[in-house]
Amino acid sequence: MNYVFGPVPSRRLGQSLGIDTIPLKTCNWNCVYCQLGRSVPLTNVRREYFPRADILAEVKNALSVHQPGKIDWITFVGSGEPTLHSGIGWLIRQVKALTSLPVAVITNGALLYLPEVRQELSAADAVLPTLDAGNPRLYRKINRPYPEITFERLVEGLIAFRREYQGQLWVEVMLVRGLNDTEEALREIAATLQTIHPDQVHINLPTRPPAELWVQPPDEEGLLRARAILGEVARVVHPAEGDFDLSGYKDMVDAVVAVITRHPMREEELIRTLERWSPGQVQEALQALSLSGRAQVVERYSYRFWSAAPARYPETSEIPRLRKSVG
């Protein structure tokens, strides 16, 4: 399968069947913490990157091969920003016509200022946009957006979508130590969230390989500060533990690459997954994956992560003066 992967474990969405509508790494943000590496080049062009009928055919196939109870949510998420696919609204509605399973969209929210994008996402059961900053300068520093995707447009779009949307709006805040975990930065984020009125706020931590070497999760003090300032609807979302489903593939390399292109895996996770796929042949499987040229190992936080070969991560540290540069 080229466009559908998983199900993969999600602490918020249980076992989530992923739908990827765009090539790696097609995005209008270049977030410092992105687990898929750098966006080179940035793009803000909406078009049909992959044929919508082909994507839908894979969804139908995936639903047919998984037994009831094996999938909790169907989630549009993947190799960049899913709303850049011009057919996402059609796809959401077609998927909902196929199944009673709830549909989620994980998006940076940058295009929600466009009425047509808000209308396209309106059929989803849950939409999870991002808000990592409460002012334009910090927004540019963390999310590094396409020039016309300004902070004002981001917030404008989130407010407008909340006003129109009838489903669950869960805003994600990724905390980066020294950037947006200070009291000043968190209070600005909290003030902005009060204008949006999300149903939930999910505090995320960069635990998978970030695009930039210097990115670190907040310490315990920063995490406690975030929970206190962001309010009662905020909760910390830690990485989920669970099964990565590689069924639907005849070839092990194809199966693993389908997951790590959208969801880099710690080597321990990958080994556990391969043991279920091919007991007793894990080392042979890892060697085949390495020799395929389709995967790479990225070292972060003293862990080895397997990611797709085309993903761009820096090879040398580029450590800025973090706290002094917060605006």
DSSP state letters, 183-198: HHHHHHHHHHHHHH--
Chain centroid to Cα 293, Å, comes to 24
Whether the CB-CB separation of 246 and 256 falls below 8 Å is answered with yes
Stretch 116-127: mean pLDDT = 98
The residue-averaged pLDDT of 111-130 equals: 98
Q: Could you check whether the bond before residue 7 is cis, i.e. omega within 30 degrees of 0? A: yes
Going by pLDDT thresholds of 50, 70 and 90, the confidence category of residue 18 is very high
CATH architecture of the domain with residue range 4-325:
Alpha-Beta Barrel (3.20)
d(CA 164, CA 21): 25
Tens of pLDDT, residues 74-98? 999 979 999 999 999 999 999 999 9
**pLDDT classification of 273: cutoffs 50, 70, 90:** confident
Share of the chain above pLDDT 90, in %: 74
Residue 327 confidence (pLDDT) above 50:
no
Per-residue pLDDT tens digits for 246-272: 776 778 888 899 889 998 999 998 998
Left (φ > 0), alpha (ψ -120 to 50) or beta: where does 209 sit? beta
Torsion angle defined by CA atoms of residues 265, 266, 271 and 273, in that order, rounded to the nearest 10 degrees: -40
| Buried-state track 195-214, b at ≥16 Cβ within 10 A, e below 16 | ebebebbbbbbbebbbbbbe
Tell me how far apart the alpha carbons of residues 264 and 10 are, in angstroms, rounded to a whole number: 14
Amino acid 280: pLDDT: 75
Of 22, 35, 30, 40, residue with least CA distance to 146: 30
What's the pLDDT tens digit per position in 27-55? 999 999 999 999 999 999 999 999 999 99
This prediction's pTM: 0.90
Residue pair 285/249 in contact (Cβ under 8 Å)? The answer is no
pLDDT at 242: 64
